[in-house]
Structure 1
Amino acid sequence: MASRSTNLLSRANRIRQVLQSNLEAIALRLKICHISMLGMLLKGDHEETHFNVKIVSAKFDGQGLVRRHRMVYDLLADELKNGLHAISIVAKTPQESGLA
Structure 2
Amino acid sequence: MIDPATAAPGPVAAEIERLLVAALAPTRLAVIDDSAKHRGHAGHDPRGESHFTVDVEATAFAGLNRVARQRLVNRALADLLAERVHALAIRASAPGE
- Above 0.5 in TM-score? yes
SS at match of 2:85: coil
| Pair 1:69 & 2:46 matched | no
Identify, as 1 or 2, the structure richer in helix: 1
- Work out the CA distance in 1 between the residues paired with 2:96 and 2:79: 30
The correspondence of residues 5-20 of structure 1 with structure 2, limited to 5 A, is 10-20=11-21
- Work out the CA distance in 1 between the residues paired with 2:64 and 2:14: 26
**CA-to-aligned-CA distance 1:29-66 (integer Å, 9 cap, x gap):** 010001566643xxxxx231000110000000111110
Identify, as 1 or 2, the structure richer in strand: 1
Normalization by structure 2: what TM-score? 0.78
| Pair 1:52 & 2:62 matched | no
Which position in structure 2 is the counterpart of 1:43? none
Normalization by structure 1: what TM-score? 0.76
| Cα RMSD, aligned residues only | 1.7
Between the two proteins, the alignment pairs up a number of residues equal to 83
**What are structure 2's unaligned runs of at least 5 residues?**
1-9
**What are structure 1's unaligned runs of at least 5 residues?**
1-8, 41-45
Task: Decide which structure has the larger Cα Rg and report it.
Answer: 1
